[in-house]
Chains A and B, each alone.
Chain A
Amino acid sequence: MNTNSPEAAGPTHKTVEAGITLLIALFGVVVIIGSLKAGINWGAEGPRAGFFPFYVGLFIVVSSAINLRDVLRGENDGLFAEWGQLRQVMSVVIPTTIYVGAIPFTGLYVASMIFIGWFMRWLGKYNWLTVTAVAIGMPVVTYFIFERWFLVPLPKGPLEEWLGL
């Protein structure tokens, strides 16, 4: 974790944090809009549905404004992370996104097999035997524990349909 080493390159902490703060403020605005729709006044029997969320949203916006000021004034010129580190993070985020996006179509089991296999082979550089054993073993064990033992149905795709599971 030597984010401050001079020769490394990457996005600065300031930029990223300012971005996050703005994102949070935006979330606050959305909450305020939603609350206005639900009614924010104090009815005959106490507050209405949007009363609390409205002030919560307001608090978010106000505290984000203060946080943004602090960020911009702050002395933290360090890096948020090096590009190499971010690449590492993205190498998990992107495949996981694909994995999660694929579940509704391929079912959980097939997607998990490919995902585990990819992860172990690509990042772990294990030999194919180990990769195959874990990638197929884990979903199969999951199938028995969840579907057979605890009767919790997990998302299934065409393969399971075809196998009649």
Chain B
Amino acid sequence: MEELVNLFHGFAVALQPFNIMVMLVGIVLGVVIGVLPGLGGANGVAILLPLTFSMPPTSAIIMLSCIYWGALFGGAITSILFNIPGEPWSVATTFDGYPMAQQGKAGEALTAAFTSSFVGALFAVIMITLVAPLVANFALQFGPAEKFAVYFLAFCSFVGLSKEPPFKTIAAMMMGFALAAVGLDSITGQLRLTFGFTELLNGFDFLIAVIGLFGIGEILLTMEEGLNFRGGNAKINLRVVLQTWKTLPTYWMTSLRSCVIGCWMGITPAGATPASFMSYGITKRVAKNGHNFGNGEIEGVIAPETAAHAAGTAALLPMLSLGVPGSPTAAVLLGGLLIWGLQPGPMLFVEQKEFVWGLIASMYLGNLVGLVVVLTCVPIFAAILRVPFSIIAPLILVLCAIGAYSVHSSTFDVMLMLIFGVLGYLLKKCNYPLAPLVLAIVLGDKAEEAFRQSLLGSQGSLGVFFSNGLVSTIMVFGLIALFWSAVQQGYTRLRAAVA
């Protein structure tokens, strides 16, 4: 009950005219940041952080968190329209979002993505409002072994899904792991696979690989097929929003499942990326149309977007209550809190009530405002596909170059992006799946790090991955997911035998 009183107090804070204005500015900036590849949410928040020092802390955090929401919404736009995910968690959105756009259903895909994002965020905020302290303690249970188990589950729920030949999938995924391993090994502090090139110190950033493999590769494929961007016949009026909304409630189960996955991943804090992949993978297995995923199923957009946004929102809880950021953006926000003289941690909820509840209230309002803003823009975004290819293609290529450059301010990365582009074109033509490759680049080094941290702690004993109830449960789920098709077959046979 006390929470609700606090929340109403929070709404009073968030609804001050100045704060509403700040919210709108934040959302619009965030969408812009999300759309421009290379300017991710973390970058955007970091860049704008110093500008907020002259504001009161509550307004400042409202603005920055709204930039974050805006970027989460915006990340889906380029994924769906151009197959270019601007953030790691939008990768899974491209799998079905881009085919939908090619079929002229860009409006539907965008509406579904935005709405699911909102639903995911709403679910996470309600959870934060009601059960914050309880949930925060859950995060403390997660040591290296538990984290590895989560990554393991994310991989397992995703592999075995692709229709491509299994050894091509393995080759692609292993290439991803190898690329993720380049650079500094965080456990031994030793350089590996750099062969003395200082350009490789950083390893291969996910974003550069993805802009190349997905974005540039797609443009090359389009060139091969003649100068047409498919999907130019997308409906560009607002009615498409309402029509899509009518169909969305049928997928309530997918939404709910994705919300739960998202919140869990956000709190642990494994983050939005494993959440989106895991949610996509699991939905593909259990959904009625699962076999058609990858060809433009709306559920394939709903699942990753809901989970990603729920995770992104839930990630703020461990940040506020424990001081551990659940995502890179949360890490920057955390820095902001410290600079404003607010100490995140167990005492924040006690000592800075106005701030905390103002922020939580702004999560409700900010996401609502964000949804309205992006939905009204759906026709505009869909209309971009009508721009002739020979105008839009060079612009996309230039934006990709800028995006690749701004990740590490390095022109070497721009060349890498182009190489990845040609590689993406060739691999796709040769029937190699790109999704496992990207998943491995994004999560590979994190999984390895958690694995080796666990072994350090257990002095080399693998038993650590089954040492308590929590970690064993997650590992078992992972194994079930890995051998899902075998399990399914066994189950059918068992049923047949019983009958």
Give the B-binding residues of A (Cβ under 8 A): 1, 13, 16-17, 20-21, 24, 27-28, 31, 34-35, 37-38, 42, 44-50, 52-53, 56-57, 59-60, 63-64, 66-67, 70, 80-81, 85-86, 88-89, 91-93, 96-97, 99-101, 103-104, 108, 112, 115-116, 119-120, 123-126, 134, 138-139, 142, 145-146, 150-155
Contact = CB atoms under 8 A, between A and B. Distances in A.
B411 interface: yes
Interface string B418-430: 1001100111011
A150 B224 contact: no
Given A80-B429, A100-B401, A119-B390, A24 B193 contact: no
Among A97, A145, A150: residue with most chain B CB under 10 A = A150
Contacts of B36: 145
B406 A67 contact: no
Given A31-B181, A150-B47, 9 more contacts: A24-B171, A37-B192, A38-B190, A45-B456, A49-B188, A93-B418, A104-B411, A115-B394, A115-B398
B460 A53 contact: no
Contacts of B351: none
Interface in B180-194: 181, 185, 187-188, 190-194
Interface string B220-257: 10011111000000000000000000000000000000
A155 B455 contact: no
Interface in B387-430: 388, 390-391, 393-395, 397-398, 401-402, 405-406, 409, 411, 414-415, 417-418, 421-422, 425-427, 429-430
Interface residues of B, number: 67
Interface stretch (B19-27, B162-170, B378-386): B162-170
A150 B405 contact: no
B430 A56 contact: no
Contact of B192 (A53, A80, A145): A53
Nearest to B33: A150
Contact of B430 (A20, A63, A86, A125): A20
B176 to A, nearest CB: 9
A134 B392 CA distance: 10
B388 A124 contact: yes
B448 A52 contact: yes
B44 interface: yes
A120 B165 contact: no
Main SS of chain B's interface residues? helix
Contact of A52 (B171, B181, B398, B429): B181
Contacts of B429: 16, 80-81
A44 B456 CA distance: 9
A89 B223 contact: yes
B13 to A, nearest CB: 28
A59 B455 contact: no
A47 B223 contact: no
Contact of B171 (A16, A44, A46, A67): A67
Given A49-B185, A108-B405, A67 B193 contact: no
Contact of B174 (A63, A120, A125, A126): A63
B434 interface: no
Nearest to A69: B167
Contacts of B190: 38, 49
Contacts, number: 183
User: Which of B48, B190, B390 has the most chain A CB atoms inside 10 A of its CB?
Assistant: B390
A96 B418 contact: yes
B438 to A, nearest CB: 16
B426 A146 contact: no
B171 A146 contact: no
Given A20-B427, A67-B165, A150 B44 contact: yes
A152 B418 contact: no
A146 B39 CA distance: 9
B401 A99 contact: yes
A138 B225 CA distance: 27
Contacts of A134: 391, 395
Contacts of A42: 460
A20 B428 CA distance: 11
A151 B418 contact: no
B430 A123 contact: no
A35 B192 contact: yes
Contacts of A104: 411
A64 B224 CA distance: 27
B397 A27 contact: no
Contacts of A20: 426-427, 430, 432
Given A45-B459, A46-B455, A120-B391, A34 B192 contact: yes
Nearest to A58: B174
Contacts of A45: 455-456, 459-460
Contacts of A123: 227, 390
A83 to B, nearest CB: 11
A54 to B, nearest CB: 10
B164 to A, nearest CB: 11
Contacts of A139: 398
29 contacts: A16-B426, A17-B430, A20-B430, A21-B430, A27-B175, A34-B193, A45-B456, A46-B452, A46-B456, A49-B192, A53-B193, A57-B174, A59-B170, A63-B170, A63-B171, A64-B171, A88-B226, A89-B425, A96-B216, A100-B415, A115-B394, A119-B394, A120-B394, A142-B398, A142-B402, A146-B39, A146-B406, A153-B409, A154-B402
Contacts of B178: 27-28, 31, 53, 56-57, 60
The 8 closest A-B pairs by CB, nearest first: A124-B390, A46-B455, A119-B394, A34-B193, A38-B192, A49-B185, A63-B167, A63-B171
